[in-house]
Amino acid sequence: MSGPLLYGLAAAALIGLGLHGVLAHAAPLRRVLAFNLVGAGVFLLFGVGARRGAAAGLPGDPVPQALVITGIVVAFAATALAMALIRRLAILRAAAAGTPEEGAAPAAAPPRETR
Amino acid sequence: MNATLDAVLALMLPVMALFSLNARDERSAVIGFMALGLLLALAWVRLGAVDVALTEAAIGALTGVLLLGAASAAVSVAVPRTGSPLLRGLLALAAALVAAGVAVIVAGAPDPAPSLAAAAVAHLGALELGNPVTAVLLAYRALDTLLETVVVLLALIGVWSLAGEGEWRGAPAAPGGTASRPVVLLARLLPPVGLVVAVHLLWVGADAPGGKFQAATLIAAMWLLVLMAGLRAPPELGGARLRGLIAAGPAVFIAIGLAGFLVPGQFLAYPEGWAKAAIIVIEVALTASLAAMLALIVLGPGTGERRT
Amino acid sequence: MSLLADIFTIVAVTAGLGFFLAGTAGLLRFPDALSRLHALTKADNLGLGLIVLGLVPQAGSLGGALKLVAVWLLALGAGGIAGQMIAQIVNGRGKRAVNGGREG
């Protein structure tokens, strides 16, 4: 079995696991992690395609590689936005429930949660 | 030998993903996810994509700060799992079917795949570049990179807009808890090295693996480290200089793109002989802006606190 | 000359791998956090150091060799500081248990 195919199969597994995680998990953080797993699997598929497109003395096709670099940064930005939404949701829920945030969040939470 | 390494790495990826998804607490899940990122970086090296491996490894540091911070805050919205066993079984089956379908497609895809490698190499001389990935990012598909920068900017605006009423101009909370003395030592020792490595990555990106994304991520990580150690306070988000820094990269990129209408006659086309100079200007401006944007995205929305 | 360098590489890298193996075994088998930390730092410092030392003759250029050494130095610094942080947390826990919740 060739190297790229192995990573292709790993990518398929990551996509399946991520998809299941997004649908089956209720905790928002796990859902975001799972969604990132799907993204990582898709990126890895690009990598397999790039590796198989090795030509002209290059170890891989540079076009999909460049697309993945762009994709990784965009995925990070989207994850950060999702995290900010989750935090805001936690603050709003705590306020709606009328409980002080210190009681709901562990001691390691940043001081911003008190506002 | 190499096949064994590939097999072990490829097996570790889904195993780590399973661990991350099913870990007991959120913190373990995040740590598993970070380990997966490092394994992915190794996989990228094995796939011959060193540029991608550098990006993956560098962004892993930022993801760690972001997710570990969120892991402690996200506990309060944790909801128990719902759904009947039948529904869960169906979900698992559906996900397995999708994975199997992707696996079949990968196994059946043409090998060697259709490639643009030859076309990417053909014009490297005219661009005075040695790294075809940089050529794709900043010349052939520069529009993608421009839009990607704008996406990061929009994400930052999205994060900022989640601040409480009247708080969005203030400084964000400092990342991490109270800094211990080892962190302070690390924050004094590492940033000079990190900045040198970042400049090196940016500069060699023209000819070797590296480039602005990797450099910007590294600079952002160094800044966050200094903030975590409490050596500097996070900036107030309303400041004109900060916003100017953020806007400068995309603005320079768009300005050079518009200038392409005048000389070669097309958006984002570089004039003959000036491609290298234009690319360097764009890369330096984008590195500064991206570094600031990535760090600020991790820091989160303003809290209305005025720090002195 | 090159044969000598190759032998040196094999010996040093094998020794380094031995330290990694021992360190990993310690990390998995030792009973408490501080002794696990002890095992881990041995793997990090000596294991990586020996592997870097073994790879230096294969680097091909002075720049490459220096980069390898820089990687080791950075790992040393990061490992040492991370070890201190973990030990502080462990110690803090112990002290808090003794002092009844007071910050150590």
Residue A103 has pLDDT above 90, yes or no: no
pLDDT value at A113 more than 80 = no
Q: Using an 8 Å Cβ cutoff, are B267 and B261 in contact?
A: yes
* Residue B247 one-letter amino acid: A
CB distance A53 to A61 below 8 Å:
yes
Rounded to a whole number of angstroms, the CA Rg of chain B reads 22
pLDDT of residue B108: 84
Neighbours of chain B (3+ CB pairs under 8 A): A, C
CB contact under 8 A, A24 and B135: no
The answer to whether residue B173 neighbours chain A at the CB level (below 8 Å) is yes
Q: How many CA atoms lie within 13 A of A14 on its CB side?
A: 29
Of B116 and C97, the one with more pLDDT: B116
Q: Do residues B286 and B146 lie in contact, with contact meaning Cβ atoms separated by under 8 Å? A: no
CA of B52: which chain A residue's CA is closest? A69
Higher pLDDT, A60 or B103: B103
Q: Give the tokens for residue A12.
A: 């398929």
Closest CA to B219 of B249, B240, B178, B239: B249
For residue A15, give the nearest of B26, B102, B133 by CB distance: B102
User: Which of B:132-171 have CB within 8 Å of A?
Assistant: 132-133, 135-137, 140-141, 144-145, 148, 151-152, 155-156, 158-159, 162, 164, 167
pTM: 0.85
Angle (nearest 5°) at CA A80 between B144 and A49:
45
**What confidence score (pLDDT) does residue A37 get?**
93
Interacting residues of B235 by C-beta distance below 8 A, sequence separation 6+: B171, B242
Within 13 Å, how many C-alpha atoms sit on residue B210's CB side? 18
**The two structure tokens encoding residue B300:** 């989160």
Cis peptide bond prior to B112, omega within 30° of 0: yes
pLDDT attached to residue B73: 66
User: What ipTM was assigned to the predicted interfaces of this complex?
Assistant: 0.88
The beta-carbon neighbor of B180 closest among C74, C77, C85 is C85
C81 contact B CB<8A: yes
**CA of A31: how far to CAs of B22, B150, B156, in Å?**
12, 25, 21
CA distance C75 to C73: 5
pLDDT exceeds 90 at position B3? no
The minimal CB distance from C77 to the residues B181, B183, B189 is found for B189
Q: For residue range B57-87, what is the model confidence (pLDDT) as tens digits?
A: 989 888 888 888 877 765 544 555 566 888 8
First CA to last CA distance, chain A: 56
**CA B9 → CA A75, B50, B126, B225, C64, distances in Å?**
23, 16, 39, 30, 26
For residue range A8-49, list pLDDT tens digits in order. 999 999 999 999 988 888 788 888 999 999 999 999 999 888
If DSSP states are collapsed to H, E and C, what string results for chain A? CCHHHHHHHHHHHHHHHHHHHHHHCCCHHHHHHHHHHHHHHHHHHHHHHHHHCCCCCCCCCHHHHHHHHHHHHHHHHHHHHHHHHHHHHHHHHHHHHCCCHHHHCCCCCCHHHHC
Residue extents of the structural domains in chain B: 130-308
Token pair 């160094």 is at which residue?
Answer: B222
DSSP string, B12-71: HHHHHHHHHHH-SSHHHHHHHHHHHHHHHHHHHHHTT-HHHHHHHHHHHHHHHHHHHHHH
Domain architecture of chain A: domains with CATH:
3-103+109-113 (1.10.287)
Q: Could you give the angle at the alpha carbon of B290 between the alpha carbons of B286 and B295, nearest 5°?
A: 160
For B244-253, what is each residue's pLDDT tens digit?
999 998 898 8
Q: What tokens were used for C90?
A: 């462990």
**Rounded percentage of chain B residues whose pLDDT exceeds 70:** 94
Decide: helix, strand or coil at residue C9: helix
CB-CB: which of B182, B183, B193 is closest to C74? B193
In chain A, residues with a C-beta closer than 8 Å to the C-beta of B18 are: 17
- The confidence score (pLDDT) of residue B81 equals 59
